[in-house]
Amino acid sequence: MNDSDTLAAVRDSLTTAKGSLAEVHMNTPADAIAREGRARRRRHTLTSLTGATAAVAGTALAITALAVPGHPASQSGSPARHPDTARLAAWTVAKQANGDITVTVRQLSNPSGLQSTLRADGVPASVTSVASPDLSCRPYPMSQVLFTSVYRAQKGTGAGTTVLTINPSALPSGAGVWLGAAFGRQAEDRGLHRVAVHRTINHTVHQPVHQVAARADNGVLRVGLVSLSQQCTGS
């Protein structure tokens, strides 16, 4: 085999390998890339204005965990729905004028109610009371940029409150949101900050999971993306 034949053989093998990845797609929308770029520009501008040390944005998937000191919220009461706002015992879901959905979390309870409310607001959603998606759900590949374009989390104004903002327009077609609550040892497992192992019958899928809120009662709220299906996200 001469050099030319060898080169052709290696090229063919690599081309075949690439061709076998035809089902692999970059699912982050262009808008999400642009939003991230704009956000970084703003951060760079702010940094240069204040003279602060630049914070290097990494490719790691973790986002800032919002440790919330104080006592668990004990708000109670039956759900009451306003034109664009649903107030429930543990959380409030509000639809903003720009289409964003804000979920103000006071207590990690009543996941089925939160799931119904999100779906009623047009967000394909699966909410579980455990740290990983339901077995009927298939994890949707998610990059950091896609993640930060769909979700934002910040500390709320009330004690023990976290505000999660969901941007439904940033969801790729075929993807829905997943929110899960974890308590006790699950919540303390640092390995789950990055990856949760979602076991199905035949194989194991590793789904990046993001801890967005931590509470004094050791509960955490995790978010991710799942593929749309009637069973999983209701549509």
Partner 1 sequence: MEREPAEFAEFYQATRDDCLRIVLLNVGDQHLAHDLVAEAYTRAWMSWRKVRDLEVPRAWVVRTALNAHVSWWRRRRREVFLGDHDAAASGDQATLLSGDLLAALRRLPPRQREVVTLRLLLDLDTETTARVLGIAPGTVGAHLHKAVATLRAAILSPDTLEISR
82 binds partner 1 (CB under 8 A): no
Q: Which of 72, 79, 113, 141 binds partner 1 (CB under 8 A)?
A: 141
CB 166 within 8 A of CB 151: yes
Pairing outcome for strands 162-166 and 204-208: unpaired
Residues 6+ apart with CB under 8 A from 230: none
Q: How far is the CB of 229 from partner 1 (least distance, A)?
A: 19
Structural contact between residues 205 and 198, judged by C-beta atoms closer than 8 angstroms = yes
Strand partners, 86: 81, 93
Smallest gap, in angstroms, from Cβ of residue 195 to partner 1? Answer: 5
Would you count residue 6 as binding partner 1 (CB under 8 A)? yes
What is the nearest approach in angstroms of partner 1 to the Cβ of residue 214? 15
Q: Give the tokens for residue 178.
A: 């997943």
Choices 31-39, 87-95, 168-176, 211-219; region in contact with partner 1 by CB under 8 A: 31-39
Binding flag, residue 89, partner 1 (CB under 8 A): no
Say whether residue 1 binds partner 1 (CB under 8 A): yes
Q: How far is the CB of 141 from partner 1 (least distance, A)?
A: 6
Contacts of 154 by beta carbon, 8 Å cutoff, 6+ apart: 66, 162, 163, 165
Q: Of 178-217, which residues contact partner 1 (CB under 8 A)?
A: 190-195, 197, 203-206, 208
Distance CA 90, CA 31 (A): 33
Note whether 24 binds partner 1 by CB under 8 A: yes
Binding of residue 80 to partner 1 (CB under 8 A): no
Site for partner 1 contains 69 (CB under 8 A): no
- 123 in Cβ contact with 135 (< 8 Å): no
Give Cα separations from 21 to 14, 25, 26, 27, 227 (angstroms). Answer: 11, 9, 11, 14, 19
Determine, following the binding rule CB under 8 A, whether residue 9 of this chain makes contact with partner 1.
yes
- From 5-13, 66-74, 159-167, 216-224, span contacting partner 1 (CB under 8 A): 5-13
Question: DSSP class of residue 139?
Answer: B
Count of residues that interact with partner 1, criterion CB under 8 A: 49
For position 58 contacting partner 1 by CB under 8 A, the verdict is: yes
- The whole-angstrom separation of Cα 11 and Cα 192 is 40
Residues forming contacts to partner 1 in the complex (CB under 8 A) are 1, 3, 6-7, 9-11, 13-15, 17-18, 20-21, 24-28, 30, 32-34, 36-37, 40-41, 58-61, 141-146, 190-195, 197, 203-206, 208
